[in-house]
Every structure is written in structure tokens, then in C-alpha cells.
Structure 1
Amino acid sequence: MKYNVTLNWILFFLITCTVQVQSRDKTDENKIFKLSKSEKKENFRFLFDGSSMDKWVGNKTEYVLEDGCIVMRPQQNIGGNLYSKDSFDNFVLRFEFMLTPEANNGLGIRHQTMDDKNYQGMELQILDNEAPVYADLKPYQYHGSLYGYAPARRGFLKKTGEWNQQEVIADGSRIKITLNGEVILDTDINEVTKDIPAEKIQKGLLNKNGRIAFLGHGSVVKFRNIRIKKIL
């Protein structure tokens, strides 16, 4: 009798382990994103599908792969940004992101160098707009804004801890951002800078080509399902 009980427990343990492994494998597979049929027809491709960060270079100490996401995990005395290996001029970029309370990051586009101290491209703000600590920012410092130049509409971010969907269209001097189905920015760089002396325009703002970048500011932010299409 004691032998049968022991054998039953062994069988139960083996079955349980098998189910857990199968479940874990299935979960891992589910973290790999696929392009939709329409995106395939439109020639979108992945910059990050949840499986690896091999299309990115730069700060891979703080930007890490976790559960199918690129997660910014700030560490002391590290710093640095994450950059796409490839450069793009005109494109449609789609991605999902999740903010934590007081989260602050930035989407860099057309960055021509990987100089972390002096941004060599433009920044589109990524921010927890509702955090009290950011109550007194300038209008052009909130989420989706062309940082320092053109303010985005507010009120369309989901709560912290929920996934947001964002699309960025960069076509020549025109920048358009759609957040969770709402257009929050539709601006022209030439228009917003036409009255600014050339020497006072941020270096890199007028770049025609460059890398995609995530510009961390010491807070946890998650990114996933990053895909891009060149505009020809």
C-alpha cells in the first residue's frame, strides 16, 4: 500500500511538471507578436516582436528583454539610450507602451549618432501626464509633444499599468501621432521653427534620416510589438 501511494505521488508530480512546462512554452509562444494581414500587405516589419533585441544597440544594461517586452530598468551610474540598428527617413512606426507612476521616457526619431549627452535628433515625449510631479510642465513637455516645439493634445493616455497603442508618422517635415485611436499631434517642423533663429533650433531637429531611439529618464517603462513601414 505504501508503495502504491508513493508511486501515485511520483506520477502526480511528473504530470504536474509536464503540464507546467507545456503551459510555460505556450505562454512564451504567445509573447511573440505577428504582423496583421493588412500590415504584411503594407510592408511593415518588426523592430521588436518579443523574441529578441537583436535589432537594437546601445544601452542594453537598463533596457532589457522581459516577458516579450523591452523594459527600461534604471540602474545607478549607468545611463544611455537604446537605438535601432537601422536608420529611417520617412516612416510609419507603431508600438505599444505601458507607463508606471511618474514614468518619463522619450521616443527619438532620426537620430544620426548615439551621443547620449547631446541628442542628435528630435524627441517625442513619453510621459505619465497625470503624475502630480509634472503638474507645472510647459505644454510642449507632455506626452506626445514634439519636445520643446509643439504641444500634443492631452487626455487620451490609459491608466498607468495598462497598455497604450501609438502610431507615429514621420513624412518629411510632418509629424503625426495617434494615441489609442486619437490624433494628439499633427504638426510641421518647418512651420513651428520658421520664426526661430537657426542657431537656436535644437541640433538634429531638422535631420532627414536617422535611428529610432528610446531616451530613458530613470523610470520604468515597457515597450512591445514595435513595427515600422518605410514611406517611399
Structure 2
Amino acid sequence: NFVLEWEWRLFDKGGNSGVKYFVKERPDREGKYAHGLEYQMLDDDGHAWMQEGKMKPNDYHTAGALYEFFLPSTEKQLNGPGQFNTSKLVVDGDHVEHWLNGLKVLEYERGGEEFLAMKEKSKFGDRPEYGLQKEGHILLQDHSSRVGFRNIRIKILRPNSIKD
């Protein structure tokens, strides 16, 4: 149970990064791969997929989304390349919230019916343990885009503290 807060900016048009949580290393053909749930950080408007029509505004790959699972609120406010954004991730048991620039953009229950249905449809559907670990690492993603992080803070919560 924790709250993770950070500021981030993408330096280039179309930039892509993320923060993964509940990360477990999993061997693959090339060695190790870090699998975990991902708070997506993306220059939505400038990303090539948006330009090519492969992605629509506020889909499962846009900023604030739980990558491949849940889309963020259409009311989100995203600062463009070169400008800092503030994000917050709240985890209390299986309850998870994604915040972007002061607005809660999504919430879900890990292991809940909706989560499991989305997982089944995602590219992670063949990994029974994906997203269900009770503990793991936090990872700042390198996705070949220039990204800056600052003011990274984590606070450990007592169980059910956000529901009090």
C-alpha cells in the first residue's frame, strides 16, 4: 500500500515513457524482461500512432491510462513536450488510482471482474500472474524517448487508509 508521486516531462514530440508497478522480472528469449502494470506517459497528440490514425484520443495507450487496460478520463489535462506534468499513483490493497495534474483520471480494482476481462483481451492475457502480484518493484521505463523525472516521492500507507 503506497502513494507514489512524481513530476515528468517528455522532451520530444511523440515521446513515450511510463512508470511500471508491481514489477516482476520474467525470463524471456533474450534474458530478463520486467513485467508490470504501467501508468502510461505519452505525448498523446504528437505520437505517431495518433498521427497515423492507429490510436484515438483517450484510448488504452494515452497518458494516464493503465496501459492496455483502462483509458483515462476525457477531462484530463496534459501538458505538452518540454512542460512538466504531475502524476500520482495510489495503491491501497487491490484498489488503484491514477492521477494526472491534480485530477483522478482512472481507478480500478486489481483482480476485479472488469480488470480480469480487460486482461484477457490484452496482450497479457496468456500470463496468469500478470498484474495480480501482491508485491513487486517500481520501474521508470526507458522507451527510447527523452524523458525527465523529478520530485519522486513514495509514502507507505497502512491498509485501507484511503477508504477511512
Structure 2 length normalisation: TM-score?
Answer: 0.76
For the pair 1:120 / 2:31, whether they are aligned, the reply is no
Output aligned runs, 1:26-45, within 5 Å: none
Deviation at 1:106, TM superposition (A): 1.5
Letter of the 1:153 counterpart: S
Larger strand percent: 2
Output aligned runs, 1:33-182, within 5 Å: 90-100=1-11, 101-113=13-25, 118-135=33-50, 136-137=54-55, 139-154=59-74, 155-182=76-103
Matched residue of 2:48: which SS?
helix
Letter of the 1:227 counterpart: R
Matched residue of 2:77: which SS?
coil
* Match of residue 162 from structure 2: none
* Match of residue 134 from structure 2: 208
Q: Which moved more, 1:196-205 or 1:139-148?
A: 196-205
Deviation at 1:118, TM superposition (A): 3.1
* Match of residue 21 from structure 1: none
RMSD: 2.4
Question: Does the C-alpha gap of structure 1 residues 132 and 91 become closer, same or farther in structure 2, counting only changes over 3 Å?
Answer: closer
Task: Report Cα offsets for 1:166-214 as digits up to 9, x if no partner.
Answer: 1110122221111111111111222323346596356431111111101
Question: Does the C-alpha gap of structure 1 residues 99 and 92 become closer, same or farther in structure 2, counting only changes over 3 Å?
Answer: same
Percent identity between matched residues is 29
Matched residue of 1:113: which SS?
strand
Q: What CA distance in whole angstroms lies between the structure 2 residues aligned with 1:162 and 1:199? A: 35
Q: Which has the higher contact order (CA 8 A, sep 6+)?
A: 2
Deviation at 1:134, TM superposition (A): 2.8
Q: What CA distance in whole angstroms lies between the structure 2 residues aligned with 1:117 and 1:105? A: 19
Gaps of 5+ in 2: 159-164
Output aligned runs, 1:210-229, within 5 Å: 210-229=136-155
Runs of 4+ in 1 over 2 A off after TM superposition: 112-120, 189-204
Larger helix percent: 1
Q: What CA distance in whole angstroms lies between the structure 2 residues aligned with 1:123 and 1:132? A: 18
Letter of the 2:65 counterpart: S
Deviation at 1:146, TM superposition (A): 1.1
Gaps of 5+ in 1: 1-89
Task: Report Cα offsets for 1:3-59 as digits up to 9, x if no partner.
Answer: xxxxxxxxxxxxxxxxxxxxxxxxxxxxxxxxxxxxxxxxxxxxxxxxxxxxxxxxx
Q: What CA distance in whole angstroms lies between the structure 2 residues aligned with 1:228 and 1:132? A: 29
Aligned length: 143
* Match of residue 231 from structure 1: 157
Q: What CA distance in whole angstroms lies between the structure 2 residues aligned with 1:220 and 1:161? A: 10
